[in-house]
Amino acid sequence: MIDPQELFDRVKQLWPSEVAILENEQIDIYWSLEKRLGDDDWMQVAAWSFHQALEKCAKSAFAQGKDTLLTSSVTVDDFDANVRENLKHESWSADRPLYGDLGLKP
């Protein structure tokens, strides 16, 4: 069973504590992580889901006039929602049941 909180904690540690919003830093970090994670499918989907959640936070921060974003702005709930959405892809049909529950609706 994959614990969502544990997966979130593991992937969050791979990101710097702060990223620039106006540059391509977020996507550059993601691409670097994708290469480092290799064949670890769960960490791959976690890295992409964290990036998606971070991107949403960045849009909000940008609207507030900020030029950097703390990665601690990403919540496990936002991350989990992205993971669940990404797991809907047919390639995850066999593994999808392994993803745990945070008490959120699938």
- Tens of pLDDT, residues 69-99: 999 999 999 999 999 999 999 888 888 889 9
Domain presence at residue 9: yes
Model confidence at 100, in pLDDT bands (50, 70, 90)?
confident
- DSSP secondary-structure letter at 79? H
User: Is this model's pTM higher than 0.75 or not?
Assistant: yes
Asked if 26 and 19 count as a contact pair (C-beta separation under 8 A), the reply is yes
Domain presence at residue 105: no
Distance between CA 103 and CA 106 in Å, rounded?
9
Model confidence at 102, in pLDDT bands (50, 70, 90)?
low
**pLDDT tens digits, residue range 4-19?**
999 999 999 999 999 9
Distance between CA 54 and CA 41 in Å, rounded?
20
Q: Structural domain of residue 89, as residue ranges?
A: 4-98
Q: Which two tokens stand for residue 13?
A: 């540690």
**pLDDT tens digits, residue range 19-43?**
998 777 888 899 999 899 988 999 9
Distance between CA 77 and CA 20 in Å, rounded?
23
Domain presence at residue 72: yes
What is the residue type of 65?
A: G
Domain presence at residue 36: yes
**How confident is the model at residue 103, as a pLDDT?**
53
Distance between CA 70 and CA 90 in Å, rounded?
33
Domain count, the chain: 1
